[in-house]
Structure 1
Amino acid sequence: MSPATFIDALQNELQTTQYGQRPPELYDPIRYIMNLGGKRLRPLMTLMGAYLFTDDWQKAVRPALAVEVFHNFTLMHDDIMDKAPLRRGQPTVHEKWNHNIAILSGDVMLVNAYELLLDIDTDKLKKVLARFNRTAAEVCEGQQFDMNFETRWDVTETEYIDMIRLKTSVLLGFALELGGLIAGADETTTDHLREGGINIGIGFQLKDDLLDVYGDPVKFGKQVGGDIIANKKTFLLIEALEQATGPIRDELIGWLNRTTFDKAEKVQAVTSIYDQLGIRQVTEARINEYFARGFANFEQIDADTSRKSLLMEYVRQLAERES
């Protein structure tokens, strides 16, 4: 068994799933965003989580797709709030259609996610829906914290980690937990899956923060330093604001307050400040810490060694990515 087998199963389901037909203005945007690609990381984690405990992992395919539909629903609404023009290199739904259509299509996507979850065995459905509902609320909580942070310059590392745990990581944790629940794993095991997913999810987000500053632009696939240009409160900026004193702090605050500047000059200057403060090393240490926690969670799972190795090796490859 390889990740490619799970990916093929997901792609087949994606191509055959019907979200609705009329009116087309409501359903075409759903098909559009679902076909924009992406890593399909979350549904893949669901299938790998199920495969840990059963050969009949195919019964998790439609519920796994529910996780992906929900994830893309959040992206559609996030893009509206962020006024983002592009998603995966293509026009966002609100740009291609309009804001009202994007809101309403997103609402239907949430309904679609629940419909896909109904394929789960009846005796497991109540637990799954309770966990999904809690996770969905946490994702919204994380998004609100992220918006709150836009007007604050005193965000702490603890607050930031909690925000990304809610906004991005709990859904990855639920995806893994869902696979275990579908396969009939016990509560202790599904707890380890969920916590492992949350920890690696935090590691992934911190890695994204790091790559935005220190990534190879060719491998990263987008402009390096975009977060610096936008004054986005990433882990690196929060750490720098906490550590910087004297002239270094004055310089950093000066760049943050400028309304007109040369983008390349700002990226170079702020990156130099990060270098002086050792921010890259601090970030790498946190990344390694959260990945280590995630792997420790996985180690505690009572499952076939080769199947557990498949999951851990896939996560390890993602952790070492440069894009």
Structure 2
Amino acid sequence: MIKPEQLLQTLQIEFDKHSYGENPAELYDPIAYIMALGGKRFRPLLTLLATSIYSEDWGKAIKPAMAVEVFHNFTLMHDDIMDRAPLRRGKPTVHEKWNANTAILSGDVMLIRAYDLLLDVPKDKLRLVLARFNQTAAEVCEGQQLDMNFETRWNVTEEEYIGMIRLKTSVLLGFALELGGIIGGADENAIQLLYSAGENMGIGFQLKDDLLDVYGDPTKFGKQVGGDIIANKKTFLLIEALSKAEGTVKAELEKWIEMKTFDNDEKVNAVRNIYETLDIRTFTEQKINAYFAKGLASLNELSIDESRKEPLLQFAQQLVEREK
């Protein structure tokens, strides 16, 4: 039985030796830079795990799986420009290390290179894969635009927020699993179940990210705990708190949101206490568990020997239990 750790090791070797281009260096060095920053690599891993369920030859999915990760990092490069983010995975973002114009153009090439990698899909499946990838890529952009729209709105509903993170985050996880199923030779019903699994786990994953930003262990989370609170970012927790708060609790929350000058730790502690008063943590955890349960249920519906599904199910459980 193949282990996720083996697949990750293989992926890393392939990424390390892959060339995105050389000249001009100003165009290609930023791509090598952001890809070398690492990350969890779980999207391409999902593709390989899904392929391995239906085929012993999971190696045929390596380059298409890499395409998913290259596309993901392309979106990060452009998102960082829009967010004016100074750091990515603890290192300067591309637009900070070089400049915004370079980051835009290098990102454009990354999207093209993602298509190059997808060309490794078997010819009889290529048209379907490209159509699904195009749909997914457009949806990710739609999600990013909605996220930016929400920055100027304080009446964002839970339903709207879930819809936004479905587009911005989870459809790519759905595609990653779907892609693996297509390459592995899964039937149409199984491909739909794989997509549904990724979509629901993706929503759970983003909600868990929102939760960890408030309650994560700083030594494990990898970024500043409470950063979303400091920035007034409209996470699931804040949206629910604004919806549920009344009277003095609502006034207190709005005071911290509107405050221009404050001590970071004091604001984080105050807003976290409001979340505790409203039982936001428990409510969020219930939502996370519900979405992951839907995803796991779809995987369990796959009509194939349990032993073949086991590596993917084990990895999905790791996503549920993650602390960073």
TM-score class, shorter-chain normalisation, is over 0.9
Identity of aligned residues (%): 67
Equivalent residues in 2 for 1:93-242 (5 A)?
93-242=94-243
Report the counterpart of residue 59 of structure 2 in structure 1: 58
How far apart are 1:291 and its partner, in Å? 0.5
The whole-number CA distance in structure 2 between the counterparts of 1:85 and 1:128 is 35
Structure 1: runs of 5+ lacking an equivalent:
none
Name the residue aligned to 2:305: 304
Q: What do residues 58-87 of structure 1 show as CA deviations (whole Å, max 9, x unaligned)?
A: 000000000000000000000000000110
AA of the residue aligned to 2:153: R
Question: Which has the higher mean CA deviation after the structures are superposed, 256-265 or 134-143?
Answer: 256-265
Q: CA deviation at 1:222?
A: 2.2
Deviation at 1:144, TM superposition (A): 0.2
Letter in 2 for 1:41: F
Normalised by the length of structure 1, the TM-score is: 0.99
Deviation at 1:15, TM superposition (A): 1.7
Deviation digits for residues 258-293 of structure 1 (CA, Å, limit 9, x no counterpart): 001111111111111100000001000000000000
- The corresponding residue for 1:269 is 270
Worse overlay, 278-287 or 220-229: 220-229
Give the deviation of 1:218 after TM superposition. Answer: 1.5
Deviation at 1:158, TM superposition (A): 0.3
SS of the residue aligned with 1:34? Answer: helix
Q: Which residue of 2 aligns with 1:248?
A: 249
- AA at the equivalent of 1:117: L
- Give me the whole-angstrom Cα distance separating, in 1, the residues matched to 2:209 and 2:318: 15
Q: CA deviation at 1:186?
A: 1.1
| Structure 1 position 41, deviation (Å) | 0.6
Distance in 2 separating the partners of 1:269 and 1:16: 48
Q: What is the Cα deviation at residue 4 of structure 1? A: 1.5
- Determine the structure 1 residue equivalent to 2:8: 7
Show the counterpart of 1:71: 72
The letter of the residue matching 1:159 is E
Distance 2:105 2:226 in 1: 34
Amino acid corresponding to residue 238 of structure 1 in structure 2: I
**C-alpha displacement of 1:303:** 2.2
Deviations 1:137-190 (A, max 9, x none): 000000000000000000000000010000010001100000000111111111
Pairing of 1:22-37 with structure 2 (within 5 A): 22-37=23-38
Structure 2: which 5+ runs fail to align? none
- Aligned-partner residue type, residue 309 of structure 1: E
> How much does 1:315 deviate?
1.1
Q: Equivalents in 2 of 1:18, 1:224: separation in Å?
A: 35
Q: Which stretch of structure 1 is more off in the superposition, 217-226 or 143-152?
A: 217-226
Q: Take 1:198 and 1:298, find their aligned partners in 2: how far apart are those partners?
A: 12
Q: Secondary structure at 2:223's aligned position in 1?
A: coil
Following TM superposition, by how much is the alpha carbon of 1:221 offset from its aligned partner in structure 2, in angstroms?
2.5
Quote the Cα distance in structure 2 between the aligned partners of 1:154 and 1:203.
Answer: 22
Aligned partner letter, 2:110: M
Q: Residue in 2 aligned with 1:259?
A: 260
When normalised by structure 2's length, the TM-score is 0.99
* Equivalent residue number for residue 44 of structure 1: 45
> Deviation at 1:220?
1.6
How far apart, CA to CA, are the structure 1 residues paired with 2:316 and 2:40?
Answer: 12
Partner of 2:319: 318
Distance 2:237 2:125 in 1: 42
Q: Deviation above 4 Å: which 4+ runs of structure 1? A: none
| Amino acid paired to 1:195 | S
Find the aligned partners of 1:302 and 1:26 in 2 and give their Cα distance. Answer: 46
Q: Aligned partner of 1:245: which letter? A: E
Shift of 1:316: 0.4
Counterpart code for 2:18:
T
